[in-house]
Amino acid sequence: MKRIDWNSLTEIERDVALARPAQSRADSLRHGVEQIIATVRSKGDTALRELSAHYDRCVLTSIEVSDAEFAAAEAKLSPELKDAIREAAERIEVFHRAAAPQPVGVNTAVGVRVERMLRPIHRVGLYVPAGSAPLPSTALMLGVPARIAGCRDVVLCSPARADGTCDEAVLFTARTVGVHRVFKLGGAQAIAAMAYGTESVPRCDKLFGPGNAWVTEAKLQVSADPDGAAIDMPAGPSEVLVIADADANAVFVAADLLSQAEHGPDSQVILVSPSSALIDTVAAEVDRQCATLPRGAIAEQALSQSRLIQVDSLAQAVEVSNRYAPEHLILQVNAARELVESIESAGSIFVGAWTPESVGDYCSGSNHVLPTYGYARSYSGVSVASYQKQITVQELDPNGLRAIGPCTATLAAAEQLEAHRRAVTLRLAALGAQV
């Protein structure tokens, strides 16, 4: 990990120090995804089978997971894993149900009623990756809020293995959270199928879930097409920033950094601390722990893009964090709760030494589908609200129009929109009101 003295850098050098690993949106990637989308749109299920054979090295006799496959998957899982999945789902539901938006209705003037009503998005598509490791936790994070929101149709795509089956834990999780239609599809072709529909895969209104560069590019392309589908958020590789003081446990800090580094070679982890001694100890501990990790080689690649940043104070550490806007922010400092109010941009915050980022990935109740690559400055993580539309309603009685009609007419006249003004003044005249 590269060590940096923050206060020795110019502003330009600080931007460079906080730069993410370059996301690949090369012309070849864009063109490749465009071709896949076009092929799926023109050839439907035939294209999905051909692309699965080419990219996933599997022959799909059926694209959709059958009831028998769901049953076989459940039978293969240990009772301990099934119980853990159910437990996590319950905790995620408790938090997401409490945090869900509520209808609103207020009188903004006598005779003027304004309301906000909530309606679920009709059909949503969930993408659960299964590249170097399957992610049943993502099925939890996407499926639970969709169920709470009341989405009538929920479909899920996850890549098939070489034998043409999906990961058993992903299938069990899908059924646990109420998703009954799962398709054995991965990559850009899965995104295209859910965005535009095929003979087997229904067209979806909005797509959710993380993925590799091809999946991310496909989501961006279909969301830019009026005939495509909306998406949850832009995203990039996983990342964590840890703020730690001199009293932090270096073993814990190193473990938290490595828990993100093992996601993939393009992940990024950053430690920000005013303690030079703590940084030295963490650097040594990262090396020691990484050497024993099964995915140590992947973590090492991510660490080459990562940073150890020394600052003058915790206040300055917060400034660095807000500038970076991390997906995950861990506060391993004394009186960690006192720093929370100073945090302006982060996907999710983990407060204190006993709150590893891993609990948020699985079962604390918060959502782990979060904005990355600096998008935490303007985006939030997936929630029940992500699956809903908020529709405003207004109703005026005659007294209400008398009360606010003149204000409307004056503003319409200022904007030189005469038809807008007359829509009010003609009604006021009908009421015998002075215009």
Write phi, then psi, for 44 (nearest 5 degrees): 60, -130
Rounded to 10 deg, the angle between the 67-76 and 168-176 helix axes is: 110
User: Is 394 among the annotated ligand-binding positions?
Assistant: no
Q: What is the CATH number of domain 27-102+119-231?
A: 3.40.50.1980
Q: Catalytic residue, from 96, 239, 328, 357: name it.
A: 328
Dihedral of the alpha carbons of 264, 267, 272, 277, in degrees to the nearest 10: 30
Residue 336 gets which letter from DSSP?
Answer: T
**What is the pLDDT at residue 266?**
87
Taking the C-alpha atoms of residue 166 and residue 159, their distance in angstroms, rounded to an integer, is 7
**Residue spans per domain, the chain:** 2-23+236-365, 27-102+119-231, 397-430
DSSP H helix total and E strand total for the chain? 17, 14
* Residue range 321-375, pLDDT digits in tens: 999 999 999 999 999 999 999 999 999 999 999 999 999 999 999 999 999 989 9
Virtual CA dihedral for 152, 157, 163, 168, nearest 10 degrees? -60
Which residues lie below 8 Å from residue 414, measured CB to CB, with a gap of 6+? none
Residue identified by tokens 């861990």 is 330
Q: Is residue 327 among the annotated active site residues?
A: yes
341 is catalytic: no
Strand partners, 389: 119
- What is residue 130's predicted lDDT score, i.e. its pLDDT? 85
Q: Do 2-23+236-365 and 27-102+119-231 come out as alike in CATH topology?
A: yes
> Which of 20, 165, 145 has its CA nearest to residue 92?
145
To the question of whether residue 54 is assigned a binding role by annotation, the answer is: no
Cβ neighbours, 10 Å, residue 264: 19
Confirm or deny that 263 is annotated as ligand binding: yes
Determine whether the annotation assigns residue 361 to a binding site: yes
* The predicted structure's pLDDT at residue 233: 92
Q: Are 264 and 48 in contact (CB under 8 A)?
A: no
Size of the chain, expressed as the number of residues it contains: 435
Tell me whether residue 212 is annotated as binding.
yes
Q: Which DSSP letter does residue 61 get?
A: S
54's CB contacts (< 8 A; 6+ apart) are none
CA-based radius of gyration for the chain: 25
In whole angstroms, give the CA distance from residue 307 to residue 323. Answer: 15
Residues of the chain with pLDDT under 70: 23-25, 131-132
One of 69, 168, 285, 327 is an active-site residue; which one?
327
Class of domain 2-23+236-365: alpha beta
Q: What integer pLDDT is reported at residue 132 of this predicted model?
A: 67
Contact 175, 74 (CB under 8 A): yes
> How do residues 24-35 score in pLDDT, each as one tens digit?
568 889 999 999
Own/partner long-range contacts of 421-426 (Cβ < 8 Å, ≥24 apart): none
Phi, psi of 76 (to 5 degrees): -80, -20
